[in-house]
Structure 1
Amino acid sequence: MALPDIINHQDFLLTIHTNDEKLIKNALPGVHIYPLMLDSENGVWVLRVLFEPGTVLPKHFHTGVVHLYTLSGSWHYTEYPDDVQKAGSYLFEPGGSIHQFQVPEENTEVTDTFMVVMGSNINFDPDGNYMNIMDAGWIEQVMLAAAKEQGFEPKYIKPKSLYGFNK
């Protein structure tokens, strides 16, 4: 069998070296991100996210699946306080799941995670009232505003007619 014709020729590899990139601090309070790939057309967001001790995100409903790998530190869902996700943990979340992310205040280090999210998070306040929808487009706008305030433009992969960098 012969090699297939090249469909998407690449002149270079689309690689983000997070250790060489600037961290966007406090994109949300206590949430620092390295954007990796944001695809608002297909509803996919890929991020490396660092969470400060004591960070609690709003309760949210997932419209799609999530792959979440914990690199360091620990966290749990308030609904599952005894199921602590720690360094080396991989969590698969099916679409339709509802939960609230929390990093224990007693953590002595930042919790470092890698996530691939498909779809949106529909966020709710503590009383269960709708707050907002967080998706790739929303994250991109919040992240770009935070980076601009910090004096830089982040590098990340963003689809165009073919995948490429945002610049």
Structure 2
Amino acid sequence: MSEASGPPVGHVHSDDLPWVNAGPVGLQVLRVSPDTWVVRNRFQAGFQLPTHKHTGGVHAYTFSGRWRYKEYGVDYVAGTFIHEPPGSIHTLTIEEDSDILFVIEGAFIEYDANGNISGIVDGESTLNAYYALCDAAGVPRPTGILT
């Protein structure tokens, strides 16, 4: 029996992608497809994302630091891998400077203090923001992001 050859394995090395900053958040975009986006964030201690949910699941791996979801009271430290089920509502809070990889399926839906939708972020909007931050910092746009 012979094996069928498939498409080549896509790859990117993080050293080939610039880090850009949006205030207390460093961002590196590794992959964007119509249904999944992969980002690496470096958050400063004290930062908090707005309360939000995802339309799909999220996988995250913590390289360094300590963070939590305000609603759940569990600290995630270096070496922790998590999976968020679709639709879980939470508020990501950074306790110590943290470096986290996220694999996000679907969209990020943000809520204001009254529970109203205040924003929607997806892979395409994240990639556009990443490119805009590269442009603003005078950093050439990377060509190696996986699609």
Shared fold (TM-score greater than 0.5)? yes
Q: Which residue of 2 aligns with 1:119?
A: 106
AA aligned to 1:111 is S
Contact 2:10 2:146 in 1 (8 A): no
Say which one has the larger Rg.
1
Q: Which 4+ stretches in 1 moved above 6 angstroms?
A: none
Task: Give the gaps of 5 or more residues in structure 1.
Answer: 160-167
Q: Give the Cα separation in 2 of the matches to 1:33 and 1:155.
A: 16
Q: Which residue of 2 aligns with 1:79?
A: 71
TM-score by length of 1: 0.81
Structure 1 residue 56 displacement after superposition: 0.4
Q: Which residue of 2 aligns with 1:130?
A: 117
Paired residue for 2:25, among 6, 31, 38? 31
Q: Give the Cα separation in 1 of the matches to 2:94 and 2:144.
A: 26
Q: Which residue of 1 aligns with 2:2?
A: 2
Task: Give the gaps of 5 or more residues in structure 2.
Answer: none
AA aligned to 1:154 is P
Structure 1 residue 127 displacement after superposition: 2.2
RMSD of aligned residue pairs (Cα, Å): 1.6
Paired residue for 1:69, among 61, 64, 67? 61
Contact 1:61 1:123 in 2 (8 A): yes
AA aligned to 1:87 is A
Structure 1 residue 57 displacement after superposition: 0.3
Identity %: 32
Q: Which residue of 2 aligns with 1:157?
A: 145
